[in-house]
Each structure stands twice: as C-alpha cells, then as structure tokens.
Amino acid sequence: MASSDRGQFSSRFGFIMAAAGSAVGLGNVWGFPTQTASNGGAAFLLIYLLMMALLAFPMLVAELTIGRYGQSNPIGSLRKIWTNNRLLAVLFGTTAMLTASMILSFYAILAGWLIGFGVSPIMKLIGLQSLSEWLITFGTGRNVLLTVIFMLMTVFVVRRGVADGIEKWSSRLMPVLFALFLVLIIYIFTQHGAMDGLKMYLVPNWEHVNGGLVVNAMGQAFFSLSLGVGAMMVYGSYLSKDVNIPKTAGQVAIIDTGVAFFAGLLILPAMFVAKANGVQIFSETGELISSGNLVFTVLPSLFDSMGLVGEIVGVAFFALMVIAALTSSIAMLEVPVSCLQEEMKIKREKSAIILGLVILVFSVLIAANFDTLFDWVATASTMYMQPLLGVVWAIVIGWVWSRNALLKEIQQGYPEIEKTWFWRIWPIYVKVVCPIAIIMVFAYPFL
C-alpha cells in the first residue's frame, strides 16, 4: 500500500494527544496508584520515575523511530530494517501484534466494569435500583455485556482511521480527562484525611524496596508507555518526517508520567479519606486489603458516603477512567488492524470489525473463566512480553540497523541532532544498556 493511502496524523498536537492517549490509560489511573499504595508509597514512586527516565523513555524514542522509518505496520516496518532476515521481522512483528491483542482482551473486561460503575449511580438516581446493583456486581453476564459494549466503542473509533478516528477522538477526550482529573483532585483535598494519603505518597518508606519491586516498577513503566507491543511503532508510522522524535517522545513521556503522578495524588488521598469515613482499607497487619479492590470497593464506598455529591463525583471519576481506557484500547486494536490492512490487503473497516470480534471472543472466554485466565493473561502479556519485546526492539535499533541510517531517519525532524548529547549517548545506550538492564531486572529475583 502506498504510504499516501495509509493516513497520517494531521498535526503534531494531534499526534501528541493520540500517543499520550495510548500511553495514559488504566495503567496510569489504576495500576500506578494501586502499585504505589501497596509498595510503600513514595519509594515506589521514585523507582518508577527512574525506570521511566532510564529505560522506558529511550525505548519510546526507539519504537517511534522504527515506525516512522518503516511508514508501515510493525511487521512491515521491521521487515524494512531487517532486510537480511525477514523471517525474524515477521516472527517478532507477529508476536507484538498478538501481545497487543492479548492485552486488549483483558483490558476490555476491566474497562467494561468501569462503564458499569459509571452508569450504576445514574440508574440508581432514575430509580432502576436492581439494574444499578447488577451493573456493579461481579458476574459472567454483566462482565460479558459490558465488555461487548466497550469493544464496540473501540471498533467504532478504529474503523474511522487515523486522522478521523484515532486523532479526532484522542484530541477530544484527552483534554476532558485532564480537566476531570483536576476537579477531582481539588475536591478530594478539601476532605478530611487527605493529608495522610499525601504523606504516604510523598514520604518514602524504604523497607518495601526489593528486587520484586524493581521488576514491578519496570513492567509498570513499559505498560504505561505502551511499549513493546508495536502500538508506538504504528503511531510513529503515521508521523510526518518533519517531526522531532526525541522531543515529541519526551513530551508524551512527561504527559504520561504527569497523569500517573496526578492519579496518585487523587487515589492515595482518596483512600485515606475513605478510611476517615469508616471504610476499611488496611488489614490488621497494615497491608492494603486487596489491591484490585482499591478502585472497585474503596472508591465507590467513599462516593457513597458523600451523598448526592458523591454520586456525581463517582460518575465523573468512572467517566474519566473509561475515557483513559478507550484512548488506550484504540491504540492496541490499531496494531493488528494495521497488520491485517497492509499485509493481507483487507480494508480498514473490515479489519477493525473482524479483529474486534476475534479479540472479543477471547475476552468472553477470559470473562467466563475469570479465576483461571485473567491474572495469567495479564501477567504474561504485560510483565513479561512487553519488556522482552523491548529487548528485541533495542537489538533491532542497536545491532541490526546501521548507525548511519538511524541518524538519517532521526535527523529529518531534528537536523542538528548529531551535535547533541542525546545523539552521543542514546544509540549506544539503547544498544547495550537497555537490553542488559531489562534482562538484569528479570534475572535479579533468581540471583
């Protein structure tokens, strides 16, 4: 397919909103605060920031550059660089595509719950008490229905294409998300108990730091920047050649980290406000009762205890979560859709619908066998596959691609790069330090 048929982001702002939309998701507004709350607060925050700056950001530049050079789906882009080993290009491109689909299959279930929690207070207000209860009660029927609704929303956006679908919706939804966040944070800080949460968030407790925590922080950073699975590669492929990749990647990473930080600023204080209102959040031994429950029990009971204002705040909070999830899920679906569209020459609309359906089947399977499958799929795809695929992309940048060709690609949007400290450090850093560091983080628990 000629690159002119592929679609392109129409502006740098649009790209930043789309890439930040992909990055900002449940990982930021749920995963990060939950991990922080269960791993000693500020200590986790600091290690996470280190992982972000030292590993995830350089890898984001790497993925965007591969995609922008290839101007194709991840399989096609890798094939253009791996000219002497097309088999490996196809193998790893396909693995990335499958991992993105795997992530979407469990992510859609979570996002479905969030829809349920957002709609439930509205149903209660209009008197549909039993529907309101059903929407927030764990059950296969509810899980499946809400997952289907969320997948339909995702397919609706992706089938419209890059500028008309992904960019338009990300540019609309992301500013709404920022505004909602701000309002909620201001509100929570007026509540009794919030300062205790702030203390836990910002004053480190080093007792919790161990090898496992570093692995978690790395996985969280990779997940948060949507790395490994080809999502940033495919977004990079829709980026015009005059864009400065390191600078744009920096902005995306800052927005993503900023939103995670603000989510912590909302959720940790909210936990303690809930505690001050009599909701149990810590066990006898001082551990968080259940990290998964944080968002689904602690917060709704907090909202409940606040009366009518709480209902409104609750709807706003879950609307925010659904928006964050949607701008991420469209990036996940875009990976296989772009592959099917360009590798198999199937039209975008059709690709989006077919793949949406196939992934939905897997989601339903996971929803129906929740206890056995959910954790496994989530852990395998995010904690292991994402960083390991990151190692492969680092090898592609550092060992497969020639340094000159790499320089030429980045120079297009950043002519003076050759003279910068970034260019002196980054190529060798991605070539040697990133793969070794990622593997060492994995190996650490076994040493």
What is the smallest separation between the CB atom of 403 and ligand PFF, expressed in angstroms?
Answer: 28
What is the smallest separation between the CB atom of 418 and ligand PFF, expressed in angstroms?
Answer: 31
Look at residue 283 and give its three-state secondary structure: coil
Judged by beta carbon, residue 111 or residue 123, the one nearer ligand PFF is 111
Select the span of 19-27, 46-54, 67-75, 405-413 touching ligand PFF (CB under 6 A).
19-27
**Residue 282: beta bridge partners?**
288
Q: Which amino acid appears at position 61 of this protein?
A: V
Residue 102 half-sphere exposure toward CB, CA atoms < 13 A:
23
**Residue 288: beta bridge partners?**
282
Judged by beta carbon, residue 121 or residue 236, the one nearer ligand PFF is 236
* Residue whose structure tokens are 């400065």: 244
Q: Which amino acid appears at position 350 of this protein?
A: K
Give residues 401-420 in contact with ligand PFF (rule: CB under 6 A). Answer: none
Of 184, 332, 340, 359, the residue at the interface with ligand PFF (CB under 6 A) is 332
Q: Is the dihedral of CA 213, 30, 15, 160 positive or negative?
A: positive
Judged by beta carbon, residue 14 or residue 27, the one nearer ligand PFF is 27
Look at residue 381 and give its three-state secondary structure: helix
253 is an interface residue for ligand PFF by CB under 6 A = no
Select the span of 12-20, 142-150, 224-232, 351-359 touching ligand PFF (CB under 6 A).
224-232
Cα 6 to Cα 334: distance, rounded to the nearest angstrom: 12
Cα 269 to Cα 275: distance, rounded to the nearest angstrom: 10
What is the smallest separation between the CB atom of 287 and ligand PFF, expressed in angstroms?
Answer: 25
Which two structure tokens, joined as six digits, stand for 361? 């089947």
Judged by beta carbon, residue 191 or residue 329, the one nearer ligand PFF is 329
264 is an interface residue for ligand PFF by CB under 6 A = no
Cα 166 to Cα 144: distance, rounded to the nearest angstrom: 25
27 is an interface residue for ligand PFF by CB under 6 A = yes
What is the smallest separation between the CB atom of 101 and ligand PFF, expressed in angstroms?
Answer: 10
What is the smallest separation between the CB atom of 386 and ligand PFF, expressed in angstroms?
Answer: 7
* DSSP label at residue 282: B
248 is an interface residue for ligand PFF by CB under 6 A = no
* DSSP label at residue 239: S
Look at residue 288 and give its three-state secondary structure: strand
257 is an interface residue for ligand PFF by CB under 6 A = no
255 is an interface residue for ligand PFF by CB under 6 A = no
25 is an interface residue for ligand PFF by CB under 6 A = yes
Task: Give me the DSSP letters along 232-273.
Answer: HHHHHHTS-TTS-HHHHHHHHHHHHHHHHHHHHHHHHHHHHH
What is the smallest separation between the CB atom of 254 and ligand PFF, expressed in angstroms?
Answer: 15
Give residues 164-203 in contact with ligand PFF (rule: CB under 6 A). Answer: none
23 is an interface residue for ligand PFF by CB under 6 A = yes
3-state SS, one letter per residue, for 307-361: HHHHHHHHHHHHHHHHHHHHHHHHHHHHHHHHHHHHHCCCCHHHHHHHHHHHHHH
Give residues 84-103 in contact with ligand PFF (rule: CB under 6 A). Answer: 100, 103
Give residues 28-47 in contact with ligand PFF (rule: CB under 6 A). Answer: 28
263 is an interface residue for ligand PFF by CB under 6 A = no
What is the smallest separation between the CB atom of 234 and ligand PFF, expressed in angstroms?
Answer: 9
22 is an interface residue for ligand PFF by CB under 6 A = yes
What is the smallest separation between the CB atom of 24 and ligand PFF, expressed in angstroms?
Answer: 6
Of 443, 445, 40, the residue nearest 209 (C-alpha): 40
Cα 59 to Cα 390: distance, rounded to the nearest angstrom: 7
What is the smallest separation between the CB atom of 289 and ligand PFF, expressed in angstroms?
Answer: 23
328 is an interface residue for ligand PFF by CB under 6 A = yes
Kindly list the residues in this chain that would bind ligand PFF in the complex (CB under 6 A).
Answer: 22-23, 25-28, 100, 103, 223-224, 226, 229, 231, 328, 331-332
